[in-house]
């Protein structure tokens, strides 16, 4: 078994720490040049990447992995082009490093403000989503942070191939070697070594299921940004436009059910239920969704969709599949109470034409992102104008929601004087 002293993770983290000191002062032009080289190289390598990805997918199928899991680890020519496009989007964003904020002039003439600075070294432990390799690396490079990547074993080779492209092209552009490091070993001991290495790693970001996030949160010796577990609700209010609500619900549940911002529970006000539940059931059923329904909803679904009686535990499930809990509620109060009890703080939506209901939902729904008359599927760094994201934080300190460039920086106070002394 690998020991901490000999750990690949610690060796690579030390390299990243050294590189991060120089990366933190790299110019915007140099960082952007590296990212554009990365994007071009990824876009020009679809055959090579697909050749690595295909055997991993086949092995996962043989092991009986779920369709949602397979979807997350799958590369296609379109997804590879999308990865490259996202890297270019990061390159096009303003660089937060070195930006001054909140400059004020004191009565004694001192100018005092904050300057944005990189956090240092980011450790990222993620499950089998190869695109996350590039997303995290791109945001870290642009924000001046070194990054140590640890991929899940199922898509390890694909993630490694993408990481190699990032490393090669970033270094070729003139960025410090070892700014991005990828742990090649798949031994579980390497995760433990990362989590203990506060000497070299400033922040840990887990991306994956509840078990991974729980382990990182409980064992890490450095701060952790935890999130990504999404038990997401859409509440269709009595004052909702049914046609709009159907469109939003279908989008939130069915476009990509395996992602964390997909709708898990549909809440419908009783005054609209007789009209809307059959509409929603028909639209969702046509797309293969299985509904897990309470007693009031069961009588309205009929034959429009496959329906099963909801179990109490279903309301706490992040389905990550074409399954959806469905409950009829008596009021906005009851909808908000349900979200308090079962929500994960990720994404919550209301569909309503009532200004008052919308305003109250915005204030009281406790989540990283709250949507009014829009799909929860929008909770994404790219959709929010961040290029891509390191992850979606469901915490309240220090970042919340999609974490982009600014969320990977801190600040230092800068004081500019003309000879002032304190008396």
Instruction: Find the Cα–Cα–Cα–Cα dihedral 93, 368, 207, 46, rounded to 10°.
Output: -40
Which tokens go with 372?
């009014």
Per the DSSP assignment, residues forming a β-bridge with 410 are 117
- Asked if pLDDT for residue 2 goes beyond 50, the answer is no
Other beta carbons within 10 angstroms of residue 79's beta carbon come to 16
The pLDDT, as a whole number, for residue 4 is 43
User: Per-domain residue ranges for the chain?
Assistant: 8-227, 232-378
Banded pLDDT at 5 (limits 50, 70, 90): low
Q: How far apart are CA 410 and CA 397, in angstroms?
A: 12
The pLDDT, as a whole number, for residue 3 is 43
Domain 232-378 class, CATH top level: alpha beta
Per the DSSP assignment, residues forming a β-bridge with 263 are 232
For the stretch 168-183, pLDDT in tens is 999 999 999 999 999 9
For the stretch 198-226, pLDDT in tens is 999 999 999 888 889 889 999 999 999 97
Give domain 8-227's CATH superfamily: Aldehyde Dehydrogenase; Chain A, domain 1 (3.40.605.10)
14 Cβ neighbours under 8 A, 6+ residues apart: 200
214 Cβ neighbours under 8 A, 6+ residues apart: none
């Amino acid at each position: 078994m690998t020991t901490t002293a000999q750990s690949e993770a610690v060796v690579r983290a030390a390299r990243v720490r050294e590189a991060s000191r120089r990366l933190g002062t790299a110019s915007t032009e140099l960082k952007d040049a590296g990212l554009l080289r990365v994007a071009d190289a990824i876009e020009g390598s679809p055959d090579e990447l697909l050749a690595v990805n295909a055997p991993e997918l086949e092995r996962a199928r043989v092991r009986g992995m779920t369709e949602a899991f397979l979807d997350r680890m799958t590369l296609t020519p379109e997804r590879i082009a999308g990865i490259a496009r996202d890297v270019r989007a990061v390159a096009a964003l303003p660089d937060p490093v070195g930006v001054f904020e909140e400059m004020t002039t004191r009565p004694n003439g001192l100018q005092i403000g904050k300057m944005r600075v990189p956090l240092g070294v980011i450790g990222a432990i993620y499950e089998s989503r190869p695109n996350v390799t590039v997303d995290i690396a791109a945001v870290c490079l642009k924000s001046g942070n070194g990054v140590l990547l640890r991929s899940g074993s199922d898509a390890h080779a694909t993630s490694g191939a993408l990481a190699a492209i990032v490393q090669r092209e970033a270094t070729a552009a003139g960025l410090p070697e070892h700014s991005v490091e990828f742990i090649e070993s798949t031994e579980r001991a390497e995760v433990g070594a990362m989590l203990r290495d506060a000497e070299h790693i400033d922040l840990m970001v887990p991306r994956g299921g509840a078990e991974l996030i729980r382990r990182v949160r409980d064992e890490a010796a450095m701060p952790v940004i935890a999130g990504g577990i999404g038990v997401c609700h859409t509440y269709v209010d009595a004052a909702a436009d049914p046609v709009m609500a159907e469109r939003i619900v279908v989008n939130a549940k069915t476009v990509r059910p395996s992602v964390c911002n997909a709708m898990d529970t549909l809440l419908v006000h009783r005054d609209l239920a007789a009209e809307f539940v059959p509409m929603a059931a028909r639209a969702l059923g046509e797309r293969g969704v299985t509904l897990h329904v309470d007693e009031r909803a069961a009588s309205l679904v009929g034959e429009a969709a496959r329906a099963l009686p909801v179990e109490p535990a279903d309301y706490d499930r992040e389905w990550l599949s074409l399954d959806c809990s469905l409950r009829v509620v008596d009021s906005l109060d009851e909808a908000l109470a349900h979200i308090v009890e079962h929500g994960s703080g990720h994404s919550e939506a209301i569909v309503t034409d009532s200004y008052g209901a919308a305003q109250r939902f915005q204030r009281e729904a406790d989540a990283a992102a709250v949507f009014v008359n829009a799909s929860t599927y929008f909770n994404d760094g790219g959709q929010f104008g961040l290029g891509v994201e390191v992850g979606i934080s469901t915490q309240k300190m220090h970042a919340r929601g999609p974490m982009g460039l600014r969320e990977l920086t801190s600040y230092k106070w800068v004081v500019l004087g003309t000879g002032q002394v304190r008396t």
